[in-house]
């Protein structure tokens, strides 16, 4: 029974959270000063055409009826049709989301792979030169605008040195020779055995992924340092040192293991933040991902696409929060009895 009650509460929280997301997204979309009818027919259309299209879209109905209709369609995976592409919004999102997934995943791997060891190092060397260096690196990552870093990186590493590929996901010479399977360029080129195209795609990916990784590393290293300082001040660390355990074993085997419990949530939220579509990075590097898709849709008053993309972003946050909660319970047995 305790397990069943916990499962019911868990599912209830998921349903309420998702309903809240849909409600907030829908009503914000209705109060913004953008008329979706005018975006379809143009502002010079006759009044009778505007009225007919408004009626066909159901925009003449009360808001609560519009929300119920919208809710029913969303639950069926129908976000409407994009004004810009004339395709179903879900079809467009399936096309652009793999690009964001690829970029965010590599950025998170870089951020966590470098940020966690740096945070541990800074905590162990608290107050020393290493600690100050890590804190300065994190501060720069928080303070410097990422679009400026992106532009400077393109000027130096692409335009001047030629070490990496430029904007876009892959050179045009390879773009139309590949048959996309997953939409993830590195995976598709590897499965096709096109290693030259794989190297070209990687050269385009490494620079924006490194910038996002640096931004993620700044957050993860700071939080890792904070968690480790808290763990290193605990009594079990003093006891372990009194028993003669090596410092490396105390740090990596015991302190970091306990710090990993809250650190899971930090990494998951960082990953979700990158998956929502790093708009500035995707704009600077002409990366055809979800963030750039939502931005272009908003600029062109394509509200179906904006709302659909926003719901996908919210769903990503909800899903990763739930995943981090499950991992939290797995890593910390104490939470299973709550």
| Full 3-state SS string of the chain | CHHHHHHHHHHHHHHHHHHHHHHHHHHHHHHCCCCHHHHHHCCCCCHHHHHHHHHHCCCCCCHHHHHHHHHHHHHCCCCCECCCCCCEHHHHHHHHHHHHHHHHHHHHHHHHHHHHHHHHHHHHCCCCHHHHHHHHHHHHHHHCCHHHHHHHHHHHHHHHCCCCCCCCCCCHHHHCCCCCCCCCHHHHHHHCCCHHHHHHHHHHHHHHHHHHHHHHHHHHHHHHHHHHHHHHCCHHHHHHHHCCCCHHHHHHHHHHHHHHHHHHHHHHHHHHHHHCCCHHHHHHCCCCCHHHHHHHHHHCCCHHHHHHHHHHHHHHHHHHHHHHHHHHHHHCHHHHHC
Q: How far is CA 213 from CA 117, 200, 271, 278, in A?
A: 14, 20, 10, 12
Give 283-328 pLDDT, tens digit per residue.
888 888 888 888 888 877 777 888 888 888 888 888 887 787 777 7
Between residues 45 and 74, the one the model is more confident about: 74
Q: Has residue 116 got a pLDDT over 90?
A: yes
Give pLDDT tens digits for 130-144: 888 988 888 888 788
Structure tokens at 228: 């480790």
Residue 87 lies inside a defined structural domain of this protein: no
Q: How many structural domains compose the chain? A: 2
57 and 124, same domain (yes or no): no
Does 137 reside within a domain? Answer: yes
Q: For position 71, what pLDDT does the model report?
A: 84
- 114 and 221 share one domain: yes
**Tens-digit pLDDT profile for residues 207-218:** 999 999 998 999
pTM above 0.85, yes or no: no
Q: Are residues 127 and 168 in the same domain?
A: yes
Distance CA 153, CA 167 (A): 11
Question: Do residues 151 and 274 share a domain?
Answer: yes
pLDDT > 70 in the chain, percent: 91
What's the pLDDT at 111? 92
Please report the pLDDT score of residue 195 as a whole number: 87
Residue 107: band (very low, low, confident or very high) from pLDDT cuts 50, 70, 90: very high
Give the sign of the dihedral formed by CA 262, CA 133, CA 149, CA 161.
Answer: negative
User: Residue 2 pLDDT more than 70?
Assistant: no
Evaluate whether residue 159 is within a structural domain: yes
Instruction: Give the pLDDT confidence of 51-70 residue by residue, as tens digits.
Output: 787 777 777 778 788 888 88
112 or 85, higher pLDDT: 112
Which CATH number belongs to the domain containing residue 148 in this structure? 1.10.3720.10
Tell me: do 111 and 178 sit in the same domain: yes
What's the pLDDT score for residue 39?
65
pLDDT digits (tens, 9 = 90+) for 255-270: 888 888 888 888 988 8
* Same domain for 106 and 238: yes
Asked whether residue 90 is domain-assigned, the answer is no
d(CA 338, CA 323): 17
Average pLDDT of the chain is 83
Instruction: Give yes or no: residues 31 and 167 share one domain.
Output: no
Q: Can you read off the two tokens belonging to residue 12?
A: 């209830």
229 and 264 share one domain? yes
How far is the C-alpha of 151 from the C-alpha of 5, rounded, in Å?
Answer: 53
| pLDDT of 338 higher than 60 | no
Name the domain boundary from 43, 75, 107.
75
Residues 6 or more apart whose CB falls under 8 angstroms from that of 230 comprise: 259
Range of the domain at 330: 95-337
Q: Is residue 86 part of a domain?
A: no
- Name the more confident of 277 and 222: 222
Same domain, 278 and 319: yes
Q: Is residue 82 domain-resident?
A: no
Quick check: 4 pLDDT over 60?
Answer: yes
């Amino acid at each position: 029974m305790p397990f069943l009650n916990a499962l019911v509460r868990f599912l209830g929280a998921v349903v309420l959270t998702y309903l809240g997301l849909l409600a907030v997204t829908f009503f914000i979309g209705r109060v913004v000063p953008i008329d979706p009818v005018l975006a379809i027919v143009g502002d010079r259309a006759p009044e009778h055409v505007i009225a007919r299209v408004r009626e066909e879209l159901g925009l003449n109905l009360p808001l609560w009826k519009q929300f119920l209709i919208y809710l029913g369609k969303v639950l069926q995976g129908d976000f409407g049709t994009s004004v810009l592409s004339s395709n179903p919004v879900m079809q467009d999102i399936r096309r652009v989301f793999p690009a964001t997934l690829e970029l965010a995943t590599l950025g998170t791997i870089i951020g966590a792979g470098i940020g966690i060891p740096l945070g541990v190092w800074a905590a162990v060397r608290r107050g020393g030169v290493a600690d100050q260096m890590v804190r300065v690196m994190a501060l720069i990552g928080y303070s410097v605008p990422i679009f400026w870093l992106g532009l400077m990186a393109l000027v130096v590493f692409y335009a001047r040195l030629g070490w990496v590929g430029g904007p876009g996901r892959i050179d045009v010479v390879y773009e139309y020779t590949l048959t996309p399977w997953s939409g993830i360029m590195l995976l598709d080129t590897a499965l096709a055995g096109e290693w030259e195209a794989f190297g070209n795609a990687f050269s385009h990916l490494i620079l924006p992924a490194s910038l996002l990784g640096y931004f993620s590393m700044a957050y993860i290293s700071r939080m890792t340092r904070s968690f480790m300082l808290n763990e290193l001040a605990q009594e079990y660390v003093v006891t372990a040192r009194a028993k003669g355990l090596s410092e490396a074993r105390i740090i990596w085997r015991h302190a970091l293991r306990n710090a990993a419990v809250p650190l899971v949530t930090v990494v998951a939220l960082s990953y979700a933040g990158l998956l929502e579509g790093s708009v500035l990075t995707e704009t600077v590097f002409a990366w055809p991902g979800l963030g750039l898709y939502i931005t272009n849709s908003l600029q062109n008053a394509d509200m179906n696409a904006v709302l659909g993309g926003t719901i996908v972003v919210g769903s990503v946050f909800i899903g990763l929060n739930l995943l981090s909660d499950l991992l939290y319970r797995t890593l910390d047995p104490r939470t299973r009895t709550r």
